């Protein structure tokens, strides 16, 4: 199982109410299955998880018994969600429709409920993506649910919801945690503390009162680049001692210095990854991503967004795909998880190629000259 896999779900599925909530272990199984879906898939497949991986996710010790696996799988298949519909209605569906244990191969074959196809396949807008490894490190079912919900709103940097609606999304049993202080200490604070410690998000929250009682919670969402899961180790033979300081200077010249700049240490890892994926075209690809960040005003964390693009390109590269930021529109769509429209000049690789061929040398020279003037004025 590759922990760098990307989990992508429609926002309606993220916002669904969990009538019979998944445990943290069950969530990890389901999201591992979701991460196995390819962007081009037009139908569900059987998603295979080895007994070893199954045991690791569930924390099972020693030799796993057939009856134990069967009971765990039966419980997983009983879990359901309530998905809001555009017409005001709702859809009730189980996560898993079938499970098959292949004893001789040490594998479990799992399949999603067909009703979930619109929420996982061929997603073009209104979806949320995150790296699987971020939730595999979490132990609380509430931490995983809150991570998904806040990841959806990361690009805005904030999200607000009522206490009652939060409980429904978490799957808190009716009548449990009637007192807000109990919900706060046993669910909310614990989930936030674990997320802040183990994931790429840093969360703070503010209590909003109606009268004398807390009615709503406002979450402030920040991306923690220093805690982001690192790129896979780069083979030694591909590590060019790289005089990357000139490249960093040029790219910092393209970046909006009021919003972000590349520090030496941060850029070193970023650029080594880009070199391994794109070779001599690494600087051009990074320039394209920076150009996108500069025109896309809803990107709240430019450095985190840029690094996320390289992480996804890395995963595609390891699969043998020849990926570029400009040419793979579906990858861009799955990456951002945002609803805004990607500028036309990013969608048309022919225009991008023309810009590369005709303007690369002159633009870099002009930018270098402009940067020099700026440095002299500082």
Q: How open is the CA angle 220-222-227, to the nearest 5 degrees?
A: 140
Co-location of 125 and 165 in the same domain: no
* H runs (alpha helix) in 172-263: 180-183, 189-198, 245-254
**Shared-domain flag, residues 123 and 200:** no
pLDDT of 252 reads: 87
pTM of this prediction?
0.60
H helix or E strand, kind and range, residue 98: strand 96-102
**Do 107 and 187 sit in the same domain of this protein?**
no
DSSP state of 17: B
pLDDT value for 319 = 66
End position of a domain, from candidates 107, 131, 155: 131
Q: Which residue, chain included where needed, has tokens 């001789």?
A: 104
149 and 68 in one domain? no
Domain count, the chain: 3
Segment 206-218 mean pLDDT: 93
Q: Which CATH number covers residue 14?
A: 1.10.10.10
Does 179 lie in the same domain as 124?
A: no
Choice among 130-134, 180-184, 199-203, 235-239 with the minimum mean pLDDT = 235-239
Answer with the residue of higher pLDDT: 187 or 316.
187
Both 86 and 61 in a single domain? yes
User: Where does a domain end: 229, 253, 285?
Assistant: 229
70 and 200: one domain? no
- Least confident span in 34-43, 116-125, 222-231: 222-231
**How far is Cα 266 from Cα 277, in angstroms, rounded to an integer?**
17
Measured distance CA(180)–CA(160) in Å, rounded: 16
Same domain, 221 and 240: no
Of 183 and 365, the structure prediction assigns the larger pLDDT to 183
- Measured distance CA(42)–CA(30) in Å, rounded: 19
How many Cα atoms are found within 13 Å in the side-chain-facing hemisphere of 90? 11
Residue 17 has pLDDT above 50, yes or no: yes
Indicate if 108 and 189 belong to the same structural domain. no
Phi, psi of 120 (to 5 degrees): -135, -20
Q: What are phi and psi of 70, to 5 degrees?
A: -65, -45
Whether the CA torsion 139, 142, 145, 148 is positive or negative: it is: negative
Domain housing 216:
137-229
- 236 and 372 belong to one structural domain: yes
**In this predicted model, what pLDDT tens digit does every residue of 118-175 receive, in sequence order?**
999 988 778 888 888 888 888 899 999 999 999 989 888 999 999 999 999 998 877 7
Q: How far apart are CA 273 and CA 289, in angstroms?
A: 14
* DSSP helix/strand/coil, 220: strand
Domain co-membership, 353 together with 238: yes
Q: Are strands 96-102 and 80-84 parallel, antiparallel or unpaired?
A: unpaired
Chain segment 251-284, per-residue pLDDT in tens: 888 888 788 888 876 787 788 778 878 888 888 8
Q: Rounded distance, CA 259 to CA 223, Å?
A: 14
Q: What is the mean pLDDT of the chain?
A: 77
Residue 190: what pLDDT? 94
Note whether 142 and 175 are same-domain residues.
Answer: yes
In contact, 112 and 33? CB cutoff 8 Å = yes
Residue 340 confidence (pLDDT) above 70: no
Q: Looking at 81, 102, 131, which one is the last position of a domain?
A: 131
Tell me how far CA of residue 214 lies from CA of 157, 161, 206, 211, 223, in angstroms: 22, 11, 10, 8, 27
Q: Phi and psi of 178, rounded to 5°?
A: -65, -40
């Amino acid at each position: 199982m590759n922990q760098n896999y990307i989990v992508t779900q429609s926002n309606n599925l993220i916002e669904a109410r969990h009538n019979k909530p998944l445990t943290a272990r069950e969530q990890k199984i389901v999201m591992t299955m979701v991460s196995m879906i390819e962007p081009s898939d037009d139908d569900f497949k059987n998603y295979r998880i080895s007994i070893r991986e199954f045991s690791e996710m569930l924390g099972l010790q020693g030799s796993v018994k057939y009856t134990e696996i069967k009971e765990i799988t039966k419980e997983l298949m009983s879990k359901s969600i309530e998905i809001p519909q555009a017409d005001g209605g709702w859809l009730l569906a189980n996560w898993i429709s079938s499970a098959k244990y292949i004893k001789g191969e040490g594998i479990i074959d799992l399949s999603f409920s067909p009703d979930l196809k619109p929420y996982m396949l061929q997603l073009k807008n209104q979806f949320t993506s995150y790296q699987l490894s971020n939730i595999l490190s979490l132990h609380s079912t509430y931490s995983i649910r809150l991570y998904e919900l806040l990841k959806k709103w990361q690009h805005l940097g904030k999200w607000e919801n009522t206490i009652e609606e939060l409980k429904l999304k978490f799957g808190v049993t009716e009548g449990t945690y009637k007192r807000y202080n109990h919900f706060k200490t046993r669910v909310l604070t614990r989930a936030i503390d674990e997320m802040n410690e183990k994931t790429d998000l840093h969360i703070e929250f503010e209590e909003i009162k109606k009268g004398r009682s807390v009615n709503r919670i406002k979450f402030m969402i920040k991306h923690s680049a220093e805690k982001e899961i690192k790129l896979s180790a780069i083979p030694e033979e591909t590590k060019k001692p790289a005089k990357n300081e000139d490249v960093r200077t040029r790219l910092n010249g393209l970046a909006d210095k009021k919003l972000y700049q590349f520090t030496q240490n941060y850029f070193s890892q970023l650029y080594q990854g880009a070199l391994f994926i794109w070779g001599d075209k690494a600087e051009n690809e990074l320039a394209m991503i920076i150009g996108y960040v500069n025109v896309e005003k809803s990107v709240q964390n430019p450095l985190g967004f840029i690094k996320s693009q390289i992480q996804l390109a890395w995963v595609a590269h390891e699969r043998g795909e020849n990926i570029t930021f400009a040419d793979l529109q579906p990858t861009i769509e799955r990456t951002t998880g945002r609803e805004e429209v990607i500028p036309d000049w990013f969608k048309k690789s022919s225009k991008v190629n023309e810009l590369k061929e005709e303007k690369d040398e002159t633009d870099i020279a002009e930018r270098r000259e402009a940067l020099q003037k700026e440095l002299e004025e500082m």
